[in-house]
Chains A and B, each alone.
Chain A
Amino acid sequence: MSEPGPSKGSAAQAEIAALAGAIERAAGDLSLAEEPSNFQAVLEDGAPRD
């Protein structure tokens, strides 16, 4: 069974490359302390105070 995937030069390849570039530019100055699981802490911290 061959691995499915877009052919070389396809719009899909271009989309992935564009996304990777955008993420890399935006993430370049992330601090060492930033990790994905911080996301849920942000939500908990942002909740209204009772």
Chain B
Amino acid sequence: MTDLTLVELASAIATRKVSAVDATQACLDRIARLDGRLHAFITLDADGALARARALDADLARGVSHGPLHGVPVAYKDLFHVVGLPTSCGTKTAEYFRSDRDSTAVARLQAAGAVTLGKLNMTELALGPFGDNPHHGNVDNPWKAGYVSGGSSSGSGSAVAARLAFGALGSDTGGSIRLPAACCGIVGLKPTYGRVSRAGAMALSWALDHLGPMTRTVRDCALMFELIAGHDPRDATSSRRPAPAVRAGLEGPLNGLRLALPENYYFDGVTAQVKSAVESAARTLESRGARVLPLRLPDPAGIVDVCNVLARAESAVIHSRVLRERPHELGAAVRARLEIGLHVSAHDYLQAGRLRARLAREFVDEVFGEVDAILAPAIPEPAPQLAAVTAGAVEEIVRRMGRFSRLTRPFNGLGLPVLALPCGLSADGLPLGLQIVGRPFDETTIFRLGLAVEQALPRRAPRD
């Protein structure tokens, strides 16, 4: 049953071919069998999930459907607050983040009928792209033991790829949805800034945080996105635009769409296999009617500097209490990254915010005057071995972190929507990741392009 996609399962439950209890139990069975190696979950709520599934089955039996996710088991990165479950944010403190309400994104999925399996492992405080965690275990890559699962939404990537859950929510401040999606061979969306409410989820950087869905297919991702998008008065940065009906546009034609393959930065230092897979995806889209052209993008160095100043200052403020009172509880690299932010001046922080607005305007005007979307690799290489990238001095580990997330980070500063999805496998069987970047609030186009890429590739899943 866990071979079904989220959309297929939702349909099977709606037509009563499958029960919510059976679907939930199937996930729990896989978790019992595989999570000892994967470490994808921090909190498993098996009793709560089964009770909810039984209630949903009873409702459906009397003709009451809660919505498009009725009975579908999903899970959430452990920085989304779910009432009744602890929110550790990947730290040693079980209830690091507290709230008296569910996060808005979770509440919207639950209102649509989702079953909550539990809370997913993550890099401590969402700081780090490799998926290691000193308190809850390193999240393993389902495709190859001992390899990076990607972070910081590591448990979300691993759980969805390994079919422990039909979908998950993650957060992305510098690539934390797209990196695990790419490493684990699944689909992840970083929506436009302001599109999905961040209320009720731990912040790492108010300026750069984005919440989004992680799933096995583009259609699954589009459905979850539709359900969580839209204005929320609990989040001051939430856009008032209505939630988009992206699924209605999935099958639209690609004729006339102009796509950029960047001439600078995004292919620098990228392995030949990754480059070839992204170019192959571009040819697929060309064969479906899109026009692909080389384009020099504005130098990302400026927006990356802006991101670094904003992220360091804001994360140090948000997590100042643990840094002040319990610094020994934090991993060395996480502590080092937070401490830097204590030394960012108010002057530099505000200048970075002003500069961001100008750089975003220049990027949108220059690039989206020429093309409708950008194609780029999500990771510069297939997932590396975890032991190799987490060895050595803290400064070297932090440098490796920066290199691994260099392709995703600029788009957090720019606030643009980005879909990450698989575009092939490496010679040794690890996923290769593509990112498709759209104009602001144009998630519809990147989902349409993503579906075309997905349809051209064989459906692959890691072996147990």
Task: Check if A36 sits within 8 Å of B357, measured CB to CB.
Answer: yes
A15 to B354, CA, bound (A): 21
Task: Check if A12 sits within 8 Å of B340, measured CB to CB.
Answer: yes
B interface, over-half SS: helix
* Given A5-B342, A30-B354, A43-B440, A23 contacting B305 (CB threshold 8 A): yes
Task: Check if B358 sits within 8 Å of A34, measured CB to CB.
Answer: yes
A39's contact among B301, B351, B360, B439, by CB below 8 Å, is which?
A: B360
Within 8 A of B (CB), among A28-48: 30, 34-48
* Given A4-B324, A6-B343, A46 contacting B439 (CB threshold 8 A): yes
Task: Check if A44 sits within 8 Å of B440, measured CB to CB.
Answer: yes
Task: Check if B345 sits within 8 Å of A5, measured CB to CB.
Answer: no
A3 to B301, CA, bound (A): 31
Task: Check if A16 sits within 8 Å of B343, measured CB to CB.
Answer: yes
Which A residues touch B352, using CB under 8 A?
A: 23, 27
CB-based A-B contact count at 8 angstroms: 124
Task: Check if A23 sits within 8 Å of B355, measured CB to CB.
Answer: yes
* Given A1-B325, A26-B302, A46 contacting B368 (CB threshold 8 A): yes
Task: Check if B355 sits within 8 Å of A27, measured CB to CB.
Answer: yes
Closest to B353 in A: A36
A30 to B305, CA, bound (A): 16
Closest to B358 in A: A34
Task: Check if B348 sits within 8 Å of A40, measured CB to CB.
Answer: no
B309 touches A (CB below 8 Å): yes
**A5: shortest Cβ distance to chain B, in Å?**
5
* Given A26-B302, A27-B351, A40 contacting B194 (CB threshold 8 A): yes
Task: Check if B351 sits within 8 Å of A19, measured CB to CB.
Answer: no
Known: A26-B302, A26-B305. 12 other contacts (CB 8 A): A4-B323, A12-B336, A19-B312, A19-B344, A23-B355, A35-B357, A38-B354, A40-B237, A41-B357, A42-B361, A43-B193, A44-B241
Q: Could you give 22 example pairs across A and B, Cβ below 8 Å?
A: A1-B324, A4-B324, A5-B343, A12-B336, A12-B343, A20-B345, A22-B301, A23-B309, A23-B355, A24-B348, A26-B355, A34-B354, A35-B353, A36-B354, A36-B357, A37-B357, A39-B353, A39-B360, A40-B193, A43-B364, A43-B415, A46-B439
List the 6 shortest-distance A-B pairs measured between CB atoms, nearest first. Answer: A36-B353, A38-B357, A47-B441, A46-B364, A43-B440, A46-B440
- Residues of B that sit less than 8 Å from A by CB: 192-194, 237, 239, 241, 301-302, 305-306, 308-309, 312, 323-325, 327, 335-336, 339-340, 342-345, 348, 350-358, 360-361, 364-365, 368, 395, 415, 439-442, 445
- Residues of A that sit less than 8 Å from B by CB: 1, 3-6, 11-13, 15-16, 19-20, 22-24, 26-27, 30, 34-48
